[in-house]
Structure 1
Amino acid sequence: MTTEVILHYRPYESDPTKLPKLAEKAIQDFPTRPLSRFVPWFPHDGSRLPLKPKRSPPVISKEATKDVKWYLTISEHDMKSRSYDCTLDLLEFQPNLKKTKHLIRSYTLNEQTNSENINKQSEKGKQNLKRSWSVSIPSSNCTEKVFPLSKKLQDSLKALNLHTFYRGRWTIEHTICNSQTLEDIWAKLNQIIRHNELPSCNATIQRHLGQIWVFCDVMYCEYVGNLLKRRLALSGKMNLFVHKYGVIFSM
């Protein structure tokens, strides 16, 4: 039996006296050691087995077996046809080392430039980002100004069996902004909430819907609604929406 040895060496390892020694060392038999005798942890006299599967093994049809054998044959043939080259990814064995270094350096510079451009775009986007939510700070001063709920709203809550601590949502449409833009209304609303004039409120602007949503507890909803219409100069009807119940009140 003949053995063919292909020796790859680096440019600085071209000493002719050392190359045969490297080849001989590479084809030497690997040292072996005897394996210890396997001793199972369970009784192996064959009388009983400690482990027994609960279910029977799956049954494979003859057609499925043929398909698996055909696939394994094709895969094995494909693997044998490929030639293994251990120098494929080593740069020093490339035909033109200078060109390779130039390509690597160019790729690195391009990656750095692209990352810098992405960072600049993200910073610019952050500067142009408009605030889309606002939350009030809890305070006891506003509760003194809240009047009792109207009879109409009380009847509606009683009919729906709703507690006054349910959260409601006033919807400010762009159609009731009275010649003001939605952004103008949103800026004024943020000032009101920042000065803590709306109890238990948080608000969001839905620019794609042309709406502003103001959330509050139902017990404060009439006070909040009246203040919004007066301070924001809104003209038209606002609806109070409660999750799962829809519009329960309008003003």
Structure 2
Amino acid sequence: MPEPPGSSDSPGSSEPTPSTPPSGPSGPESRDRIYRSPAAIGGGVLLLAIAGWLGIDALIVGKGRTPWLALAGLILFVPLVVGFTLRPAVFANDDRLRIRNPFRVIVLPWGTVEALRSGYSNEVLDKSGTKYQLWAIPVSLRARKKAARQQARADKEGGEVRPSRMPEPTGPVRAHADQIMDELRELVVARGPDKRAQGEPSVRWAYEIVAPALAGAVLLAILLAVG
């Protein structure tokens, strides 16, 4: 974990210090840790390749309304595939958690995070009670069962096991998504009280995904209605 930048004045300074704190942050923003789903990215690339092949073929050789239907379908389908597969990501640094979901971008300073919960999906809960899903960190029940089997085998043998990707011994075996959630919980505990990690949550709609998808849906509906 990167060390948090210092923010307090050193004691014993001979020069008087102003009583009013500076308005901006005391140092540069730390580098983001980025969490994404490789499986979702791979699936998205495959779907886009198939859609591009079929759509472009229909545009070139299609007859009558077929090219228009193919165009409308591409305008609707491509943004949705990008939104649900390639776009989702979670960015975490010392000051805040930024969640890029299919249709929204949520920024939560650590001081506003109440809890991170894992069930059938991974979620973050802010102090107002609002819940946000972490699309980029999907839960894999299969990975959890595999980790549980590894841990049970280690307990039976009387030692600790470690995932092959980890160079050093670890504690109990955890699924990859659960390890990420543990890292984020550690950041909440460590950085939540810091004055740089305070503020208000912000939510922005991803119009770059919503607008073309709506345009494609409208165009497709008109073409189907006209017959």
TMscore range, shorter length: under 0.3
Compare CA radii of gyration and give the structure with the larger one.
1
TM-score (norm 1): 0.20
TM-score (norm 2): 0.22
